């Protein structure tokens, strides 16, 4: 007979190939702290409902505490032949406490609600660190943006010079998007923070239980009631992974900009040595690997989401072993997104912007043409379509002559040819990129004052998101402390 706790009805052992193929320890070992916490709470609940006497509870909690101490000092030995982390913890308990006491813990519990309890607790903790890291990145980026609300640079559409913006405006746009990512992560957190514990295999139990009590001690906001739903649902993982994927795609787009903007051709910025790497053959190279890998790993995280959704789409309600494949893509996305956030925070915190180069590029390629057309509308009462035509012809002519809109006298002459009188001083002011940006003061536009207003709003939103985060961190540690207090009380009885 096999050594597995479920092996009673089996006459023969599992084949080695079957054991190797089906074990999940390599993936779920990282939930051991959550498995122990969930087990402690389950034991406390069983005692409260009359299934464990004081001695049984104290013995079980003693061995679970030992398991925790062993794990924390790195000496908890896990065995793959026990399949998963749950069987490892329970086997440790039974070996320590003996079958008479240790064998009582799994009443009114199944691995189906157990794995989901662990998983929700684990992902909850990891989402908190992702949010923390995203708040750091957003705060760093916003501080940089605030220093550059008057640093003119080209804004692009179609990867062509479009209109002047500022570096602060460019950077704060990323923060505006990340605030939505934060809200998606918060929503995923709230949807996952409900307790499946006590749903058992699929249909609850005929033993007396108190699911509200377990939920509260684990820091869940509520019981996830319907037992068949609670043991079947994996949308909490898909939702968290979707939020992570959208965030990673956003980071990838920033990565794309950092790659191009740091190239010799653009020269708009330089990444610090600490966030670049060299070439094994070309001595001059300084490569933006952190930004490139963020683009690359975004592909990987998108793959994680597709992988999870594909696993889920054809599993009927009730646990099926397919569902064991839910964790690897989520773990991977959590790890990769967290890594990207940390490295980009470092990269942006140490970046050097090149305002002179930004300004030179704005002057070089007609980025201010729309300013001239709008001036014709506002100051000379020219219909916009006609203004567009006049400036378009002027640009065509300048392109042939090889001059730019900084050639004020030429602009005056061209406008005169189109029947528009303008002084050189007037034209110079109209075509000055910084003055142009200052006039671009429509709601949400790049005018320094408007950008500063947006930045202040984002700072307020980040502070609120940080407060919300802190409140959830506090609630989780209060639940953990309350469990510890009850464990200590039971052990001292
Ligand atoms: N390792 C399993 C998983 O991750 C745990 C649940 C196993 N349940 C079962 N009925 N075999 O899904």
3: confidence class by pLDDT, cuts 50, 70, 90: low
Q: Separation of 240 CA from ligand 1 center, angstroms?
A: 21
For residue 231 the two structure tokens come to 């043991």
Band of pLDDT at residue 333, cut at 50, 70 and 90: very high
Closest residue (by CA) to atom 2 of ligand 1? 324
Query: Measured from the CB, is residue 84 less than 6 Å from ligand 1?
Result: yes
Does ligand 1 come within 6 angstroms of the Cβ of 331? no
Just list the catalytic residues: 158, 279
Tokens in use for 440? 């671009």
Is the CB of 111 within 6 Å of ligand 1?
yes
Kindly indicate the confidence band of residue 302, based on its pLDDT and cuts at 50, 70 and 90: very high
Average pLDDT over residues 36-44: 98
- Give the confidence band of 222 by pLDDT, cuts at 50, 70, 90: very high
Q: Is 224 in the pocket of ligand 1 (CB under 6 A)?
A: no
What would the two tokens of residue 28 be?
Answer: 């779920």
Query: Would the pLDDT of 35 be above 70?
Result: yes
- The encoded tokens of residue 188 equal 């995923």
How many angstroms separate the alpha carbon of residue 191 from the centre of ligand 1?
A: 22
> Whose C-alpha lies nearest to ligand 1, atom 4?
324
- Tokens representing 233? 């649902």
**Residue 4 — very low, low, confident or very high, per pLDDT cuts 50/70/90?**
confident
Q: Look at ligand 1, atom 7, and give the residue with the nearest C-alpha.
A: 111
Q: Does 324 sit in the ligand 1 pocket, CB within 6 Å?
A: yes
Cα separation, 34 vs 169, in Å, equals 43
φ and ψ at residue 363, rounded to 5 degrees: -75, -25
Query: Residues 305-320: what's their mean pLDDT?
Result: 98
Q: What does the pLDDT look like over 377-436, one tens digit per residue?
A: 999 999 999 999 999 999 999 999 999 999 999 999 999 999 999 999 999 999 999 999
pTM of the model: 0.97
Quote the pLDDT of residue 2.
56
Percentage, residues of the chain above pLDDT 90? 98
Give the pLDDT mean for 139-145: 98
Is 11 or 42 the better-scoring residue by pLDDT?
42
257 CA → ligand 1 middle, Å: 43
Pocket test for ligand 1, best of 27, 81, 115 (most atoms within 8 A of CB): 115
- Angle among Cα 405, 410, 416 to the nearest 5 degrees reads 115
Confidence of residue 1 (pLDDT cuts 50, 70, 90): very low
> Strand 194-195 to strand 222-223: parallel, antiparallel, or no bridges (unpaired)?
parallel
pLDDT at 472: 98
Instruction: State both tokens at 72.
Output: 């924390």
21: CA distance to ligand 1 center in Å?
13
Say if CB 89 and CB 35 are below 8 A apart: yes
What are the pLDDT digits (tens) for 238-276? 999 999 999 999 999 999 999 999 999 999 999 999 999
Q: pLDDT band at 7, cuts 50/70/90?
A: confident
Average pLDDT, stretch 306-314?
Answer: 98
Confidence at 6, pLDDT banded by 50, 70, 90: confident
Asked whether the predicted pLDDT for residue 52 surpasses 90, the reply is: yes
Q: What is the mean pLDDT of residues 15-32?
A: 96
Indicate the pLDDT class of residue 301, thresholds 50, 70 and 90. very high
pLDDT digits (tens, 9 = 90+) for 446-455: 999 999 999 9
- Pocket flag, ligand 1, residue 262 (CB < 6 Å): no
Ligand 1 centroid to Cα of residue 69, in Å, is 25
Residue 107 token pair = 């009443």
Q: Is the CB of 319 under 6 A from ligand 1?
A: yes
Kindly report the three-state secondary structure assignment for every residue of the chain. CCCCCCHHHCCCCCCHHHHHHHCCHHHHHHHHHHHHHHHHHHHHHHHHCCCCCHHHHHHHHHHHHHHHHHHHCCCCCCCHHHCCHHHHHHHHHHHHHCHHHHCCCCCCCCHHHHHHHHHHHHHHHHHHHHHHHHHHHHHHHHHHHHHCCCCEEEEEECCEEEEEEEHHHHHHHHHHHHHHHHHHHHHHHHHHCEECCCCCCCCCCCCCCCHHHHHHHCCCCEECCCHHHHHHCCHHHHHHHHHHHHHHHHHHHHHHHHHHHCCCCCCCEECCHHHCECCCCCCCCCECHHHHHHHHHHHHHHHHHHHHHHHHCCCCCCCCHHHHHHHHHHHHHHHHHHHHHHHHHHHHHCCEECHHHHHHHHHHCCCCHHHHHHHHHHHHCCCHHHHHHHHHHHHHHHHHHCCCCCCHHHHHHHHHHCCCCCCHHHHHHHHCHHHHHHHCCCCCCCCHHHHHHHHHHHHHHHHHHHHHHHHHHHHHHHHHHHHHHHHHHHHCC
CA distances for 353 relative to 58, 71, 260, 262, 269, angstroms: 62, 47, 13, 9, 4
Confidence of residue 121 (pLDDT cuts 50, 70, 90): very high
């Amino acid at each position: 007979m096999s050594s597995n706790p479920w092996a009673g009805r089996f006459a023969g052992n599992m084949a080695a190939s079957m054991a190797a193929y089906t074990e999940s320890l390599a993936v779920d070992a990282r939930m051991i702290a959550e498995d122990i916490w969930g087990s402690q709470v389950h034991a406390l609940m069983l005692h409260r409902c009359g299934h464990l006497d004081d001695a049984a509870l104290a013995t079980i909690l003693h061995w679970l505490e030992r398991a925790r101490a062993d794990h924390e000092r790195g000496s908890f030995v896990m065995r793959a032949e026990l399949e998963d982390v749950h069987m490892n913890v329970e086997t440790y308990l039974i070996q320590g406490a003996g079958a008479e006491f240790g064998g009582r813990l799994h009443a009114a519990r199944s691995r189906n609600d157990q794995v989901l309890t662990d998983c929700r607790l684990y992902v909850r903790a990891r989402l908190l660190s992702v949010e923390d890291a995203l708040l750091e990145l957003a705060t760093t980026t916003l501080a940089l943006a605030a220093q550059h609300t008057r640093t003119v640079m080209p804004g692009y559409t179609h990867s062509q010079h479009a209109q002047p913006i500022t570096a602060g405006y460019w950077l704060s746009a990323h923060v505006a998007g990340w605030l939505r990512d934060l809200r998606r992560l918060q929503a995923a957190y709230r949807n996952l923070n409900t307790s499946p514990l006590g749903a058992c295999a699929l249909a609850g139990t005929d033993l007396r239980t108190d699911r509200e009590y377990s939920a509260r001690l684990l820091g869940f906001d509520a019981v996830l009631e319907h037992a068949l739903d609670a043991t079947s649902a994996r949308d909490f993982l898909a939702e968290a992974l979707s939020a992570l994927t959208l965030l990673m795609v956003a980071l990838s787009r920033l990565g794309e900009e950092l790659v191009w903007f740091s190239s010799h051709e653009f020269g708009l910025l330089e990444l610090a040595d600490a966030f670049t790497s060299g070439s094994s053959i070309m001595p001059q190279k300084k490569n933006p690997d952190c930004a490139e890998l963020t683009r690359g790993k975004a592909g990987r995280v998108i793959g994680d989401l597709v992988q999870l959704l594909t696993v889920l789409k054809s599993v009927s309600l009730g646990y099926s072993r397919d569902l064991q494949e839910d964790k690897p893509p989520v773990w991977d996305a959590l790890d990769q997104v967290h890594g990207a956030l940390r490295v980009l925070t470092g990269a942006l915190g140490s970046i050097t912007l090149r305002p002179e180069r930004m300004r030179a590029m704005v002057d070089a390629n007609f980025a201010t043409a729309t300013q001239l057309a709008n001036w014709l509308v506002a100051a000379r009462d020219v219909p916009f379509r006609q203004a567009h035509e006049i400036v378009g012809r002027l640009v065509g002519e300048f392109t042939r002559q090889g001059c730019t809109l900084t050639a004020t006298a030429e602009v005056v002459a061209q406008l005169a040819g189109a029947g528009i009188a303008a002084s050189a001083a007037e034209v110079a002011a109209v075509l000055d990129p910084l003055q142009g940006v200052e006039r671009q003061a429509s709601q949400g536009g790049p005018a320094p004052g408007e950008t500063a207003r947006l930045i202040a709003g984002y700072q307020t939103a980040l502070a609120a998101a940080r407060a919300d985060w802190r409140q959830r961190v506090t609630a989780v540690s209060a639940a953990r402390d309350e469990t510890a207090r009850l464990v200590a009380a039971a052990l001292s009885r």
